[in-house]
Amino acid sequence: MAVTVAELAAQLGARVEGDAESLLQGVATLSQAGPGQLSFLANKKYQHQLATTTATAVLVSESEAADCPVTAMVVDDPYLSYAKAVAYLYPEQREPGGIHPRAFVDESASVDPSAWIAANVVVEAGAQIGCGVQIAAGCVVGRNVTIAADSRLHANVTLYADVQLGQRCLVHSGTVIGSDGFGFANEKGKWIKIQQLGRVIVGDDVEIGANCAIDSGAIDDTVIEEGVKMDNLIQIAHNVRVGAHTIMAGHSGIAGSSVVGKYCAIAGAAGIGGHLEICDNVTITAMSMVIKSISKPGVYSSGIPAEENREWNKRVARISRLDKLNDRVRQLEKKL
């Protein structure tokens, strides 16, 4: 959609320095933007591109406004304002209500007339589909599943029986919610499956990326609280609780019965062991392995950054000699 700079500025609460009547029809990076496009500067790394940009307007902070060669839209947080601008310029495309003739909806299921059920979707007995829900092709909605208003499932999402999905949730393709938790008891070397009796409860405004797996609870429920944002390829085990507004990057995972607090940030490939508690406002950096509970807010790390191979080999060689060095130190201490 095309809007004037002034119209967009009103939506964002931005101050305009320059031509407020010029039209904006899309967004682009500083280096690629041209006439009719909006850009933004949120990272000092790209500050040098501001001087040569040909964007019609740029979202900038107060400190960068004087250096902007085109119309400046001055905001407190350019990245946040960019997110809001994109949502305004590119409104979500939604299908009108209805059920595709090639969908199967059990006669005992309840589907709001404003919901859209695409081709090859299966909605099983007792499911409840709320107003404005969008379910794309190939999804499976299990028995007694509840999907609240305005949530959206992309193609080939599977919701097992009894899953509850809140309002305005977004679930990307390939994700499975409510699969069996990994529960087995050992009998003389043979693994005996433990029936998983809990559900998965997902709060409002949760986004779950592609190819994630969220297991049902063993006895109690697995709970994803409101506002949680999950990247692709994430594993949430049985009985886990993820606190409100926590964000998780790709390939991270949480083992069974652990509780992660609110407003946490878990970076890529981080792992959290089972039966742990992570307090609110904790950041876990990439490739970290959490093996004990965290009770104090802050940043926690254990991953080893990559380095040049020769230096890494030297470091490993030094580590392999630590035991011998420790023995020598002990001998010296005894002599002293």
Give residues with Cβ within 8 angstroms of 321, minimum separation 6.
Answer: none
181-202 burial code (b ≥16 CB/10 A, e <16): bbbeeeeeeeeeeeebebbbbb
Residue 152: Cβ-neighbour burial (10 angstroms; 0-12, 13-18, 19+)? buried
Give residues with Cβ within 8 angstroms of 290, minimum separation 6.
Answer: 270, 271, 272, 273, 276, 278, 284, 300, 302
Query: Cα angle vertex 51, ends 50, 52, to 5°?
Result: 95
The one catalytic residue in 238, 245, 251, 275 is: 238
In the residue annotation, 238 being an active-site residue is answered as yes
- Token readout for 224 is 């994803």
- DSSP assignment letter at 91: P
Integer Cα distance of 285 and 295 in angstroms: 17
**Residues recognised as catalytic:** 238
